Amino acid sequence: MSELMRPIPFDKLVKWSLREYEEQKSVFGIKKDKFYRNKSGTNLILFGDKLSSPIGPAAGPNSQLSQNIIASYLAGSRFVELKTVQKMDGEDLRKCIARPCINAEDEGYNVEWSTELTVQEAFVEYVKAYIAIHVLAKEFEISDVRDFAFNMSVGYDLEGIKTEKIDNYIEGLKYAANTEIWKESIAFLKENLYLFKKVTAEDIDKISPNVCRSICLSTLHGCPPAEIERIARYLISEKKVHTFIKCNPTLLGYEFARNILNEMGYEYITFDDHHFKNDLQWNDAVVMINRLIDFAKENEVEFGVKLTNTFPVQIANNELPGNEMYMSGRSLYPLTISLANRISKEFKGRLPISFSGGADYFNIKEIFNTGIQPITVATTILKPGGYERLKQLAETVEPLLTGPFHGINVEALDYLARNVIYDKNHLKETRPVKSRKTSSLLPLYDCAKAPCKDGGCPIHQQIPEYLKMVSEGKFKEAFEIIVNDNSSPAVLGVICDHQCQHKCTRLDYEESLRIRDAKKKAVLNAMDIYLEEMKPAKVISKKKVVVIGAGPGGVSTAYFLRRNGMDVTVLEKRDKPYGIVQYVIPEFRISHEMINRDYQLAVNAGVKFVFNVNENYNVDELKKEYDFVVLATGAWKKAASPVKEGEEYLRDSLEFLESAKNSNLNLSLGKNVAIIGGGSVAMDCARTALRCPGVEKVSIVYRRTRDFMPAEPEEKEVALQDGVVFQELYSPVSYDGKTFVCEAMELSDRDASGRRGVKGTGKFESFEFDTVVNATGARVDSSLFEANGLKLTERGYAALNQFNETSKENVYIAGDCKAGAATIVKAVADAKIISKNILDKCGLTNDFKKFDIPQDDSTLYERKGILEHGTEAKEDGKRCLACDKICEICVDVCPNRANVLIKLTGGSEIFSQKHQIVHIDGMCNECGNCGIFCPHTGNPYKDKITVFWTEHDFIDSTNKGFLRIGENKFKVRKEDGSIIEHTLGDGQISDEMNVYLNTVLKNYSYYMLEF
């Protein structure tokens, strides 16, 4: 495929819109229920136009093609900033843009520029969209009158703006009636009035040819102030258009920008001061703006500033190809709102400000209440929910519309700017997770998945299903779903590391669903009754299983096997079950009551437990009595010493935590305690030490920074709240029982995984600590494996196959003793793998089942595009998007609408999902945004079945898909990459491709344009 976009002709644009609306109740993927209508009658008056909303797309990817603009209007946009045009355009410009060019994973980045169309093509697109919106708004009963405005954007120097093509562009948008596209489009509408139910010839005659009354001047970084002013004066005096000048965040100065981003957690964003030095300076800007205010008055046009341009930063982490990219979104917001504040103070609130810099649902009301208007967005509508997010934005500010600009409320804006550093919605820590993508390859078909359970959860908990049950108060049903896959529901309802929440799609809206809390809610409301009603399964196999170790892995294996009819005995060297959870993890994190619930689950299932046994097991002897042996003995061996001298003075983390738990925190540690490490155990050690008598200060000593500590973000946060001090970038060297010597470290470049390396500085510092605890990771004692003749790997772990089976047949390993300390849920995952394999060997069918909990499509679609923070665990499931039922994220986030939905009909039984994705090559510019948010490892614009519009595009691509070459003839690139000419019904293509093609032809033929 190529980045070349093929604009949709006006007649096809209108017919596509009307037919999709009639048959699918959507237009370019925007659902009818997501159309915005101003029901209150409020309005914003801007440049003489009455707008029913101050919201719209910023000049960029969402305002480049006619279908983009139409989609944005339907969802709520009423002030549309058309993508910038300049003298370099078309192919010359496309060649300058690296691909992919957009990454909106969290804060937004792009390496885009102005429109990739020619200036004339852009003009045609904008006029087409303008006319189409008029008739579609009437037809869909959105508005009987024009309630929107277009704002053109031009750049980047006076010479270029004065060229004939840019001048024709400006004049054409000011008055389009004499242009060819205007005449053709109006003629088509009048000749095809039969297509409409509500649009009349009179409506068409009323469409004003004055497409644009205003313009935004965009200049390149480093543009001299004199050049900026010359261009502005030209636009004001000669073009007679209302003019905004787009200002750069660099007006704030390097120190301010660096400090505020650091304070808000964006210290990793890399930039130096060269743009700050070369861009327009504050004093020059003030003088220039004052002159232009007066000049605009003389010419009877309005003047204001557009805040802000994107912010140039270095590409340091392979976010996009190249060396420099442009930042937007929530990290730009503190810069933009701060600059708005400074400018408003300088001009006493009298200077109009058009705002675009990280606006979204969580700040738009506050921004608008300051008097700033209009407000445009980009990054937020490039995320899941896409254009449909605009409806919520428009509805939020609708009650606040009060007509014309009344000035800026300087006090309100000052308050907003001063408090931005405390706004959790814009702090980096609100979304510490990076990519939500999972390891699964993006399939050609049936790609919808819930990444929380498929990629996020090692035991594949059926999360959307039990969340729905919890949200409906059906705790019994929810618990039955949970316990189907989870043998430790109580423990994992409290201390699971919940990687599911790091994959939750809601992270790209606002915050993850509180999945673990919902599990706990089900446990507390249903588990005790479930335990009372349990009866042991009948033993249906003569084969017997012994499990060595009653930690989470051992108990889980025993439970799964026993409930499936196996005879299972667990041998444990200690006097209680659940290993490290029971003996080491502090009680302030998990209670004995919760641990006992999970133990009782296994007991009530019929598992036999024998405690206080000799730990020196003999596998060969065990196999004389048992058919299967499962070793689940944990990782209890002391971690390697992190100090070169003084190992004997360090306390081991597991020993320390167990002693603290046994003594009810009655340990003598002294006043100052250091914990070496940055994982979960280190956090437990630190918080435990703080609770011991006499301890005044506890420090976590870590060789990297807080961001790279492997502990969960919430664990780090709660440790800080408890009063733990993080001593970052220190590597332990020696400890003599009093003096702790560390080498100061510094971060180096990132490796392929994105993790920063670390190197010593050669500078050493001494600290006084009474106790130092080593929490750098427990190890596996493999001596008994070796003694029992189990083959070991080079790293000293037992060699295992995919079923966790050792080199001795029917001897398995589960949990931490497999490869070192891991998580509880991974131990349960081992148990599922092992139990399934043993059951298979015994000829038994396992009882793990899939629950089919109906989800209403309309409810799920209604949740899309709506941002709202989580609530109490019982209610939070109502935010769940049930992504395995309806995903369509690639459809949401595509600015060009190039990924589309088809609903299968005939032949759909060969698919597992009725909703499938098709990519339309001619609408795609390879921005890559869909690949950022797709939960699979893959890119929908490359990896999904594709419809092609031209022979050139088909040849230029490797995508599997179709090109129509005749009435019933198609050129097809099949699944194996081979190309054939296919006639409908000739049997040359797979059943799957055949269903796809027939579905498109029957129900979505407008996808198959011919050029």
Please list the residues that pair with 110 across neighbouring strands.
102, 326
Whether the bond into 73 is cis, omega within 30 of 0: no
pLDDT of residue 861: 98
Flag whether pLDDT at 976 surpasses 70.
yes
| 329-355: average pLDDT | 99
Is 613 in contact with 571 (CB distance < 8 Å)? yes
Q: Could you tell me the two tokens for 210?
A: 């004055």
In 3-state terms, what secondary structure has residue 850?
A: coil
Flag whether pLDDT at 380 surpasses 70.
yes
Count Cβ atoms within 10 A of the Cβ of residue 174 and give its class: 0-12 exposed, 13-18 middle, 19 or more buried: middle
pLDDT tens-digit series, residues 574-630: 999 999 999 999 999 999 999 999 999 999 999 999 999 999 999 999 999 999 999
Whether the bond into 310 is cis, omega within 30 of 0: no
Residue 77 phi, psi dihedral angles, 5° rounding: -75, 135
With a CB cutoff of 8 Å and minimum separation 6, the contacts of 609 are: 550, 569, 570, 572, 577, 602, 603
- Mean pLDDT value across the chain: 97
pLDDT tens-digit series, residues 128-170: 999 999 999 999 999 999 999 999 999 999 999 999 999 999 9
Query: Helix, strand, coil % (nearest 5) of the chain?
Result: 40, 15, 40
Query: Which ranges constitute the DSSP H helices of 419-514?
Result: 463-471, 475-485, 489-495, 499-503
Flag whether pLDDT at 754 surpasses 70.
no
| 6-10: average pLDDT | 99
Residue 927 phi, psi dihedral angles, 5° rounding: -65, -25
What is d(CA 826, CA 369) in angstroms, rounded to the nearest whole number? 49
Flag whether pLDDT at 792 surpasses 70.
yes
Tell me the pLDDT band of 753, cut-offs 50, 70 and 90.
low
pLDDT of residue 906: 79
Q: Could you tell me the two tokens for 273?
A: 């001061």
0.85 cut: is pTM over it?
yes
First to last CA, the chain: 17
- Give percent of the chain with pLDDT exceeding 90: 96
Count Cβ atoms within 10 A of the Cβ of residue 1000 and give its class: 0-12 exposed, 13-18 middle, 19 or more buried: buried
b/e map 86-99, b = 16+ CB within 10 Å? bbebbeebbeebee
With a CB cutoff of 8 Å and minimum separation 6, the contacts of 291 are: 229
What is d(CA 153, CA 100) in angstroms, rounded to the nearest whole number? 24
Is 109 in contact with 13 (CB distance < 8 Å)? no
b/e map 832-842, b = 16+ CB within 10 Å? bbbbbbbbebb
DSSP class per residue in 512-575: ---HHHHHHHHIIIIIHHHHHH--PPPP--S-EEEEE--SHHHHHHHHHHHHTT-EEEEEESSS
pLDDT of residue 870: 85
Is 577 in contact with 656 (CB distance < 8 Å)? no
Tell me the pLDDT band of 822, cut-offs 50, 70 and 90.
very high
What is the β-pairing status of strands 44-46 and 739-750?
A: unpaired
pLDDT of residue 873: 75
> H or E stretch including 797?
none
What is the β-pairing status of strands 946-948 and 961-964?
A: parallel
The DSSP 8-state label assigned to residue 638 in this structure reads: P
pLDDT tens-digit series, residues 842-896: 999 999 999 999 999 999 999 999 999 988 877 899 999 999 999 999 999 999 9
Q: How far is CA 460 from CA 484, 486, 825, in A?
A: 10, 9, 10
What is d(CA 518, CA 937) in angstroms, rounded to the nearest whole number? 28
pLDDT of residue 158: 97
**Which amino acid does the sequence have at 800?**
L
The DSSP 8-state label assigned to residue 842 in this structure reads: T
Residue 937 phi, psi dihedral angles, 5° rounding: -85, 100
Could you tell me which of 922, 924, 968 has the C-alpha nearest to residue 949? 922
Flag whether pLDDT at 752 surpasses 80.
no
Tell me the pLDDT band of 1, cut-offs 50, 70 and 90.
low
| 274-296: average pLDDT | 98
pLDDT tens-digit series, residues 445-486: 999 999 999 999 999 999 999 999 999 999 999 999 999 999
Full set of structural domains in the chain with CATH: 35-430 (3.20.20.70), 463-533+854-879 (no CATH), 544-636+780-841 (3.50.50.60), 647-774 (3.50.50.60)
Query: Which ranges constitute the DSSP H helices of 299-408?
Result: 333-346, 364-369, 389-397
Flag whether pLDDT at 193 surpasses 90.
yes
Is 813 in contact with 806 (CB distance < 8 Å)? yes
Is 800 in contact with 818 (CB distance < 8 Å)? yes
What is d(CA 174, CA 178) in angstroms, rounded to the nearest whole number? 11
**Which amino acid does the sequence have at 894?**
C
Size of the chain, expressed as the number of residues it contains: 1011
Dihedral-angle region of residue 303 (phi above 0 means left; psi in -120 to 50 means alpha; beta otherwise): beta
Could you tell me which of 14, 261, 32, 268 has the C-alpha nearest to residue 131? 14
pLDDT tens-digit series, residues 219-229: 988 999 999 99
Could you tell me which of 846, 824, 838 has the C-alpha nearest to residue 556? 824
